[in-house]
Amino acid sequence: MILSVSSSVITICKDAAGVAGNIFAFGLFASPIATFRRILRNQSTEQFSGLPYIYALLNCLLCMWYGTPFISYDNMMVMTVNSVGAVFQLIYITLFIVYAEKIKKIRMLGLLLLVLGLCAIIVAGSLQIIDAFTRRIFVGFLSGASLISMFASPLFIINLVIRTKSVEFMPFYLSLSTFLMSSCFFLYGLLNDDPFISAPNGIGTVLGIVQLVLYFYYNNRTREDSSEPFIVEYA
């Protein structure tokens, strides 16, 4: 009886962490909207790079595939959040291709096809692995490595903040959303006994804390005439 109650509590806490993670992730996915308003207004991608959206799409697709019942058990929250993230990234990439210069347009289209092709190969290849445990390990390592690389991408911005002593290029709400989403899915992974979710998000939580500490430390030194903040996306 006690074990049954304990299991029910863990399940409720895990689901709550997953739902909260989905909500905070939406803030991350929506963060580039301001950038694309500018692109739509100016009818040009200017000096913005489309690579973050390509990386984010690859990460979302890999993590979405890991969250499906074909690969891992009871990871519906992971599948849903990354499905929404993939839709957001596809919209951003489409808009970028539409308003980019010809050379950037061709490069972005090529990268998009490369990502879709690579994911198709991974999906088809993993389905050929008969043993379910081995299949989960294979896809789990790929999705985990992709997620870690995405969480590690703000390191150059952290370095920039320290060098310039300014938080101009590190938006507060983006850093806060990163921390909240990572901590929720870190807890979700722990409660679900899934190291491929808890480990990468644990790293993301630590990096989110670092960003918040730096923000509050350097906030009073931020230049008032700061330009539009640089946007970095996660999944």
For residue 56 the two structure tokens come to 């984010």
pLDDT at site 230: 46
147 and 201 Cβ atoms separated by less than 8 Å: yes
pLDDT tens for the chain, residues 1 to 235: 554 556 788 888 888 999 999 999 988 888 888 888 988 998 888 878 888 899 999 999 999 999 999 999 888 899 999 999 999 999 999 999 999 888 989 999 999 999 999 999 999 999 999 999 999 999 999 999 998 888 777 677 777 778 877 776 677 777 888 899 999 999 999 998 899 999 999 998 998 888 888 888 887 665 544 445 544 444 4
d(Cα 91, Cα 169) in Å, to the nearest integer?
24
Q: What b/e readout covers 18-31, taking b as 16+ CB neighbours within 10 angstroms?
A: bebbbebbbebbeb
Q: What is the 3-state secondary structure (H, E, C) of the chain?
A: CHHHHHHHHHHHHHHHHHHHHHHHHHHHHHCCHHHHHHHHHHCCCCCCCCHHHHHHHHHHHHHHHHHCCCCCCCCHHHHHHHHHHHHHHHHHHHHHHHHCCHHHHHHHHHHHHHHHHHHHHHHHHHHCCCCHHHHHHHHHHHHHHHHHHHHHCCHHHHHHHHHHCCCCCCCHHHHHHHHHHHHHHHHHHHHCCCHHHHHHHHHHHHHHHHHHHHHHHHHHHCCCCCCCCCCCCCC
Domain ranges of the chain: 7-221
Q: Residue 165, by phi and psi: left (phi above 0), alpha (psi -120 to 50) or beta? A: left
Residue 12 to residue 164: CA distance in whole angstroms = 44
Phi first, then psi: what are they for 224, rounded to 5°?
-70, -30
Structure token digits, residue 196? 């491929």
Residues for the chain: how many in total? 235
Task: Quote the CA–CA distance of 66 and 235 in Å, as a whole number.
Answer: 13
| Phi and psi, residue 136, nearest 5° | -65, -40
Q: What is the pLDDT of residue 208?
A: 87
Question: Would you tell me the crossing angle of helices 155-164 and 195-218 to the nearest 10 degrees?
Answer: 10
- Residue 231: per-residue pLDDT: 46
Distance, in Å, from the CA atom of 143 to the CA atom of 59, rounded to the nearest integer, reads 7
